Structure 1
């Protein structure tokens, strides 16, 4: 396969993803907005070529992958003064791994269509662990032929690759995923508190419950981190709060409410404001700090 790839956004997950593409032998030109980030080193050491600008990264690319934070970020990377739109060749394909919501994905696709540039929305789930191990879940919306073209690359980065239908549908599924993640974190923290109050080893609770009907990715992967007081981000509080903002916007437009999501969002906002606002940089498992505060005022 001789297609040239660009990967823009070498953050906590993007660096590993670009690196996994390079490890599979694909030619990857990469770029990151902020220099000296760990993800840059990860990508470089795996064989990606990190370049100084979007222009140099995408000028000859057939497929351009993007992985950034929020709607304004992806709009700037694609449509900004020095954005992709100014340098990408006609007929190229942009694949966005960011979580930006259904409306934003469809709006981006419509704008790119006028420039004869194709688009897939492909939000991801699995955190830094999944990005590092190449076991991400990737939810893809767009034209089936574009999905098929990208499938070898998706397989280099993920384990569960799902075609969800037309553009925006990947984001729609991801919004459901984020609602589950938020409410699962409430359940996980409360189960750990119950274990503590009953004087049983929380690791025992995790070992038993993860194999039964209450099992979840959060219980298996984040439960042990909470027990070890490891609040380093695999996925930061600020990022989940951003995603829950998008979830709430969707539900408000549908004149509906999600009380469980609202509860989780409230707890995460409290944690986000801890340590003079630095709580937002911790992993989502830091929700346990809310419960610790309530039980140890």
Structure 2
């Protein structure tokens, strides 16, 4: 059954480890989206064409397919939700809480939360890539 629902089935351990893995991966995802938004914004502020940066990312190992896809949608202003900002923000906050509970910190995730919360005031239902608007 799991094979029909997803690309791969991976045993992570006892009950609850799947939820932990989801928090870990979503923490990575929000950091990647934030880095992508900041990169495009930074390029524009330096007078570079952000589209050329996306092409550089696409042609090098630096650009993951997900980051390149999100960069393309950011530049197009297409924030049709694939993963709504409000849900990504919730998961990022839960990841920070879980990190604190386990005795560690997610400094990058903590740093992006204030701006993501602000962005979510107007764009909660949009895709998480809407953070580009305020980058």
Judge same fold: TM > 0.5, yes or no. Answer: yes
Offset of 1:216 from its aligned partner?
Answer: 2.4
Report the Cα distance in structure 2 between the residues aligned to 1:162 and 1:201, rounded to whole angstroms.
41
- How far the C-alpha of 1:204 sits from its partner, in A, is 2.5
Question: Taking structure 2 as the reference length, what is the TM-score of the superposition?
Answer: 0.87
The question of 1:264 aligning with 2:108 is answered: no
Q: Determine which of 176, 184, 187 is the counterpart of 2:32.
A: 184
Q: Per-residue displacement from partner, 1:232-258 (whole Å, max 9, x unpaired)?
A: 111001101111222122122123321
What pairs up with 1:1-297 in 2 under 5 angstroms?
Answer: 153-274=1-122, 279-291=123-135
Superimposed CA distance per residue, residues 106-126 of structure 1 (whole angstroms, 9 cap, x where no aligned partner)? xxxxxxxxxxxxxxxxxxxxx
- Bigger relative contact order, structure 1 or 2, given CA contacts below 8 A and separation 6+? 2
TM-score w.r.t. structure 1 length?
Answer: 0.42
- Which structure shows the higher strand fraction? 1
| Distance (Å, rounded) in 1 between the aligned partners of 2:52 and 2:31 | 22
Distance in 2 separating the partners of 1:204 and 1:155: 38
Q: Is the 8 A contact 2:57 2:68 kept in 1?
A: no
CA distance in 2, matches of 1:255, 1:263: 18
How many angstroms apart in 1 are the aligned matches of 2:67 and 2:107? 22
1:146-175 C-alpha deviation (Å, 9 max, x unpaired): xxxxxxx22223223322122111122111
Contact kept, 8 Å, 1:237 with 1:281, in 2: the verdict is: yes
Structure index of larger Rg: 1
Q: Partner of 1:273: helix, strand, or coil?
A: helix
Kept in 2: contact 1:188–1:218 (CA 8 A): no
Cα shift at 1:210:
3.2
CA distance in 2, matches of 1:211, 1:163: 34
CA–CA distance in structure 2, aligned partners of residues 218 and 286 of structure 1? 15
Task: Give the RMSD, CA atoms, in angstroms.
Answer: 1.8
Consecutive unaligned residues in structure 1, runs of 5 or more: 1-152, 292-297
